[in-house]
């Protein structure tokens, strides 16, 4: 069971849009995918038309006592299941801190044979929850909006991982890109040198992505032929190749 997280310290950079679209692409390619919404905002849960509720409560989940057949929900996308978020998800930090071994991978042990891939949609924080994300995943997928501040948070992440000796791979990719803007073009061109593990597919800034909130579905379900959907398909291919 491979695990990936959409993660960034920065908010509003396209983590959730990317988590939903990449998970749907992986599912369309025949993988059995579990998308875990870790953000109390529950945007991923909303996009997939599931009620923001963790049946049995978040404490049971963190303690490894959840009834997964009730907590995990099937979505309208074939091969894609969701572990929803709720407002109570904000208690996860505290609950994880109280655990001896606080890995998210441990929590999912009972369902590890049911899924090929788990994708985590993370809140924009650096907390106990993030540390347990770092300890669990094969790689962090970090969306980079081509601006100075976005790159700065990427450096902060690298510093944090180095300082705490966390051997977690960081795979940045550019999103919300507007090639007509000079600064965007320059930032995108600079990235490969500083970040050799950068994914080369760029996700354009596109209004269909914003429409996901109205359609409440991944791009593959309502805008299959759009350039943005094509970009997410290409990004997933690139990730799948690296995971082999």
Ligand X SMILES: Nc1ncnc2c1ncn2[C@@H]1O[C@H](COP(=O)(O)OP(=O)(O)OP(=O)(O)O)[C@@H](O)[C@H]1O
- Residue 220 binds ligand X, judged by CB under 6 A: no
**Residue 210 binds which entry of ligand X, Mg ion, none, CB below 5-8 Å type-dependent:** ligand X
Of the candidates 16, 103, 153, 201, which one interacts with ligand X according to CB under 6 A?
16
- Residue 198 binds Mg ion, judged by CB under 5 A: no
The order of strands in the sheet holding 33-37 is: 73-74, 80-83, 33-37, 117-121, 2-6, 139-144, 170-174
Please state, in angstroms and rounded to a whole number, the distance separating the CA atoms of residues 62 and 23: 23
- Least distance CB 17 / Mg ion (angstroms): 8
Angle between helices 227-243 and 15-28 (to 10 degrees): 70
Token duo for residue 191: 């990235």
Helix (H) or strand (E) holding 98: helix 92-98
**Residue 209 binds which entry of Mg ion, ligand X, none, CB below 5-8 Å type-dependent:** ligand X
- Residue 43 binds ligand X, judged by CB under 6 A: yes
- Least distance CB 40 / Mg ion (angstroms): 10
- Residue 11 binds ligand X, judged by CB under 6 A: yes
Which stretches of the chain bind ligand X, using CB under 6 A? Answer: 11-17, 39, 43, 124, 175-176, 203, 205-206, 209-210, 213, 228
């Amino acid at each position: 069971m491979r695990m990936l997280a959409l993660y960034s310290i920065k908010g509003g950079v396209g983590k959730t849009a990317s988590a939903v679209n990449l998970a749907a692409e992986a599912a369309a390619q025949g993988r059995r995918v579990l998308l875990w919404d870790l953000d109390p905002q529950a945007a991923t849960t909303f996009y997939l038309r599931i009620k923001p509720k963790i049946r049995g409560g978040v404490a049971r989940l963190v303690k490894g006592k959840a009834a997964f057949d009730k907590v995990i929900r099937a979505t309208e996308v074939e091969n894609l299941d969701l572990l929803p978020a709720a407002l109570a998800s904000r208690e996860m930090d505290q609950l994880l801190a109280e655990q001896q071994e606080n890995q998210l991978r441990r929590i999912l042990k009972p369902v590890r044979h049911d899924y090929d891939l788990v994708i985590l949609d993370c809140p924009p924080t650096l907390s106990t929850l993030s540390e347990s994300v770092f300890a669990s995943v094969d790689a962090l997928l970090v969306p980079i909006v081509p601006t100075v501040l976005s790159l700065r948070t990427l450096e902060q992440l690298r510093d944090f991982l180095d300082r705490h000796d966390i051997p977690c791979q960081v795979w940045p990719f550019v999103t919300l890109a507007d090639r007509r803007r000079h600064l965007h073009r320059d930032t995108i061109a600079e990235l490969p040198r500083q970040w050799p593990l950068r994914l080369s597919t760029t996700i354009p800034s596109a209004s269909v992505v914003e429409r996901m909130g109205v359609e409440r579905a991944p791009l593959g379900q309502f805008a299959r032929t759009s350039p943005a959907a094509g970009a997410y398909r290409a990004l997933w291919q690139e990730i799948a190749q690296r995971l082999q």
